[in-house]
Structure 1
Amino acid sequence: MRLSLRARLTFTYAGVFLVAGLVLLGVTYALFNQQLSRTGTTKVLATRLNPGPGSTGAPQNVQAAPKDAQSAAEARLLADSEHWMKKQREELHDAAVTSLVTQGSIALLVVGGAAAGFGWLIAGRVLTPLHRVTETARRIAGSPAADRGLHERIALRGPRDEVKELADTFDSMVERLDRSFDGQRRFVANASHELRTPLTLGRALVEVAMHRESASPDVRQLGETLLQINSRHERLITGLLLLARSENEITARAPVDLADVVGHVASQTAVEAKDAGVTVETATAEAMTMGDALLLERVVQNLLENGVRHNTESGWVSLSCRTEDDHAVLEVANSGPAVPPYEIPALFEPFRRLDNDRIVTAKGAGLGLSIVQSIVRAHEGTVTAEPRKTGGLHITVTLPAAQAGRADAGELSRSRASW
């Protein structure tokens, strides 16, 4: 069991107080015992316990006697007095021990308990600013998206001590992060406009030149090549913008059935798979999850396109989804060339391909699996890939299942409409 900082401080205060009290009690007892054992004290006690004639103290012989008998009586009287004095001193010593040690220890425990209570209150008051820092950090970390909640500040008031410096430093860090995310959002918005506009304009000019009646076959062939280059650049820009968007946590979540997404994507990719000579097989069961339907569609589409494009002639791609252990599971397997196991982690990095091919005629921009990983992480899921013994990959995506089972028909219809 881990103790809180407040509890540790309280135990520290109480422990220091008890140790100091025990030391003080021990020193007091030692000094009292030393004072009681001094010779002067013994003489005072002897004087009080053996007074002279005419006083009422220790027992004494008042009748006249011969000198020898008187000497013997005085010796006995002195011995009795010393024995009585020793007994009285032992009783006084025992009383002092009982008073100092026993009652003093009880008093020390009572005062120590009170000191622990006051220590608990003082520690709580001292740690209150730290609780504000923790609560603010927890609200920011628990915000629906990574870039939301960064406008919050602790704004701690009070003397400029270590806690105040910590709170001010935290506010400065959050402010810088807020400016950074604002700049990223503006950059993505501007890049989406500035990069797409010239590509769209260039495609339009090439298509106009190609479809002229006076266009020669060479011009038409050149136009086809330029359109392919332009299309690849558009896919690259779309992938980059989608990757930047999917890095953030999903804010608007809706029930999505992966079975519907797999069927929709498989029908859209059927033409490309047929042209590539690849057979697409689907085996779907209800797999409800919560998330963004468009982004989850992109996950299935990227995995299917990756399996079709990086395949062999007369190859196959298999898609399946199901619910297992409160998780929605999507599996995509494909035939293809052998993939070394040590190359698997690099495939999920941006602009990484198995053959390091970056020429214009490459099959993709090298962002497919990295986009898949970013979207899956944003949905609080995991994605793993394993090489198949006969070639190709087996990729498994695991997402949290929807809490309410089958989604409401209205929500699901809206998700389908967004596709």
Structure 2
Amino acid sequence: MDMLRGGTVRRRFTLLYAAGFLGSGTVLLALSHLMSGTRVTGIAPGQLPDGGSGGSGGSGGSAVAAEQQIQDLQRQLAEIQGQQGHRLLVGSLFALLVMAGLSLLLGRVLAGRVLRPLRMITVATRRISAANLHERLAVAGPADEVKELADTVDSLLERLEASFAAQRRFVGNASHELRTPLATMRASLDVAVAKPEPAAQTIVLAGRLRTELDRLDRLLDGFLVLARAQHGALAERTPVPLGGLVAEALTARAGDIAAKGLTVEGVDGAGPPPWTRGSAALLSRLVENVVDNAVVHNQEGGWIRISAGQDDGRVRLVVESGGRVLDQGQVDRLAQPFERLSADRTGSEDGSGLGLSVVAAIVGAHGGRLALRALPAGGLGVTVLLPAAAGPDGDAGVAA
């Protein structure tokens, strides 16, 4: 029973078919064995065939001799029948073993034949992703259970396509509709401050509002990038130098790194320089967010260790930052939107709570993997693995 409950469906079908065939063959052989037996009728001592009886003299001696011959014949016949029964039993057991092997083979063939349409549906469903939701299985054939399953999957894909299209429209509309009022508010603040001799309270209020508008603008930008990455809307895939993106991100945050007195340790990756393929804008945002996370949530006078390399057909970006000892269970949730550890790590008002969730979405859209780990000595380690690609000149590219 455990073998039937575990394993693949094909294995279970094979065992069920084989058990059915083997059981039927066993019953058939048993019936044949029972029906092939014959019953020998013995002659009572003192009786002769054809109604003869023992007489006197020579006839009595002949009767005794005839009776002895009959008994000998009966004994020989019994021995022959016993030998035949033994041979029949041995032959039946051999036939049963052969039938067991044939039952397994035939069961596997039949199971594969029955499951072939399901495998085709599985392969076709795996091929369909967010980029080609318009495709359908369109299984032809009789209106059986397999076609009903395929039609159900097609109906599900149709609903998913409509849902993805609606969300993509929302992302496109939000990019325009939500940025317009932000730009209007910024312009109004600039007009209020630009008036002759503005009040001091007006200047202070304008500064606070401009800070909140900047924060809202970063939050909106994070939402849009997150939605774009989660829906796999990669307009183009080009070779991108991962090392170059790291250098650009560090240059952009050089002022903040110096203000906090952070020490940046660059470790060159082993192997060829790291190049990957994908959206240059999204990958640049990925590296920026990882570096920003290491700078913003670091301690004064702390350290940042960055390495980028390529091995086993994948490029690897590792960014480690110092800090207090973190709980791994909480770190595992940082890739979710608005997940934060505690106020002492996220006390900065510069963060939107979307940084690592955007990183996770971009990594997933490029077929990569993100790993977050709490460092034993304190701090956070972020590891990004992406598919490797050749540079524009056919080589690995230029390292940072």
- Residues of 2 paired with 1:338 and 1:179: CA distance? 45
Q: Does 1:86 align with 2:75?
A: yes
What displacement does 1:196 show? Answer: 1.1
Count of residues paired in the alignment: 386
Structure 1 residues 135 and 315: CA distance shift in structure 2, 3 A: closer
AA matched with 1:138: R
Structure 1 residues 116 and 287: CA distance shift in structure 2, 3 A: closer
CA contact (8 A) 1:25 1:101 kept: no
CA contact (8 A) 1:340 1:387 kept: no
- Residues of 2 paired with 1:341 and 1:103: CA distance? 67
Structure 1 residues 166 and 320: CA distance shift in structure 2, 3 A: same
Structure 1 residues 268 and 75: CA distance shift in structure 2, 3 A: same
What is the aligned partner in structure 1 of residue 374 from structure 2? Answer: 386
The secondary structure found in structure 2 opposite 1:67 is: coil
What displacement does 1:203 show? Answer: 1.0
Structure 1 residues 337 and 212: CA distance shift in structure 2, 3 A: farther
What is the aligned partner in structure 2 of residue 224 from structure 1? Answer: 207
- Residues of 2 paired with 1:240 and 1:347: CA distance? 16
CA contact (8 A) 1:303 1:332 kept: yes
Of 75-84 and 303-312, the range deviating more from structure 2: 303-312
Structure 1 residues 21 and 51: CA distance shift in structure 2, 3 A: farther
Structure 1 residues 104 and 344: CA distance shift in structure 2, 3 A: closer
What is the aligned partner in structure 1 of residue 381 from structure 2? Answer: 395
The secondary structure found in structure 2 opposite 1:347 is: coil
CA contact (8 A) 1:287 1:401 kept: no
2:255 to 268, 271, 280: 271
CA contact (8 A) 1:287 1:328 kept: yes
5+ residue gaps, structure 1: 54-60, 141-145
Task: Map 1:115-130 to 2 at 5 A.
Answer: 122-130=110-118
Task: Map 1:246-265 to 2 at 5 A.
Answer: 246-249=229-232, 251=234, 252-265=236-249
- Residues of 2 paired with 1:112 and 1:337: CA distance? 66
CA contact (8 A) 2:10 2:111 kept: yes
CA contact (8 A) 1:311 1:335 kept: yes
What displacement does 1:28 show? Answer: 2.7
AA matched with 1:260: G
Deviations 1:49-104 (A, max 9, x none): 95689xxxxxxx9xxxx823321331122222221243245435645765x55667
Structure 1 residues 76 and 12: CA distance shift in structure 2, 3 A: same
What displacement does 1:403 show? Answer: 5.0
2:279 to 292, 298, 302: 292
Task: Map 1:182-261 to 2 at 5 A.
Answer: 182-249=165-232, 251=234, 252-261=236-245
What displacement does 1:184 show? Answer: 1.6
What displacement does 1:220 show? Answer: 2.3
Of 248-257 and 230-239, the range deviating more from structure 2: 248-257
- Residues of 1 paired with 2:116 and 2:159: CA distance? 25
The secondary structure found in structure 2 opposite 1:148 is: helix
5+ residue gaps, structure 2: 1-5
The secondary structure found in structure 1 opposite 2:276 is: strand
Q: Does 1:137 align with 2:141?
A: no
Q: Does 1:77 align with 2:66?
A: yes
Q: Does 1:155 align with 2:138?
A: yes
Aligned-pair identity in percent equals: 35
CA contact (8 A) 2:22 2:103 kept: no
AA matched with 1:330: L
1:18 to 15, 22, 30: 22
The secondary structure found in structure 2 opposite 1:36 is: coil
Q: RMSD of the TM alignment (CA)?
A: 4.0
Structure 1 residues 112 and 264: CA distance shift in structure 2, 3 A: closer
What displacement does 1:112 show? Answer: 7.9
TM-score of the two chains, using structure 2 as the length reference: 0.79
AA matched with 1:299: L
The secondary structure found in structure 1 opposite 2:132 is: coil
The secondary structure found in structure 1 opposite 2:131 is: coil
What displacement does 1:412 show? Answer: 9.3
CA contact (8 A) 2:15 2:104 kept: yes
- Residues of 2 paired with 1:32 and 1:345: CA distance? 73
What displacement does 1:151 show? Answer: 2.3
Q: Does 1:376 align with 2:360?
A: no
AA matched with 1:382: L
What displacement does 1:225 show? Answer: 1.6
- Residues of 1 paired with 2:95 and 2:296: CA distance? 84
Deviations 1:190-222 (A, max 9, x none): 221221111111112211221233433332222
What displacement does 1:239 show? Answer: 0.6
Structure 1 residues 323 and 112: CA distance shift in structure 2, 3 A: closer
What is the aligned partner in structure 2 of residue 333 from structure 1? Answer: 320
AA matched with 1:173: L
Task: Map 1:86-105 to 2 at 5 A.
Answer: 86-91=75-80, 94-95=83-84, 98=87, 101=89
- Residues of 1 paired with 2:104 and 2:348: CA distance? 75
- Residues of 1 paired with 2:302 and 2:108: CA distance? 71
Structure 1 residues 87 and 123: CA distance shift in structure 2, 3 A: same
Q: Does 1:353 align with 2:357?
A: no
- Residues of 1 paired with 2:292 and 2:117: CA distance? 53
Of 343-352 and 231-240, the range deviating more from structure 2: 343-352
What displacement does 1:150 show? Answer: 2.4
Of 112-121 and 152-161, the range deviating more from structure 2: 112-121
What is the aligned partner in structure 2 of residue 58 from structure 1? Answer: none
What displacement does 1:36 show? Answer: 2.1
Deviations 1:279-309 (A, max 9, x none): 4525253333333322222222122222333
What is the aligned partner in structure 1 of residue 264 from structure 2? Answer: 281
Q: Does 1:36 align with 2:39?
A: yes
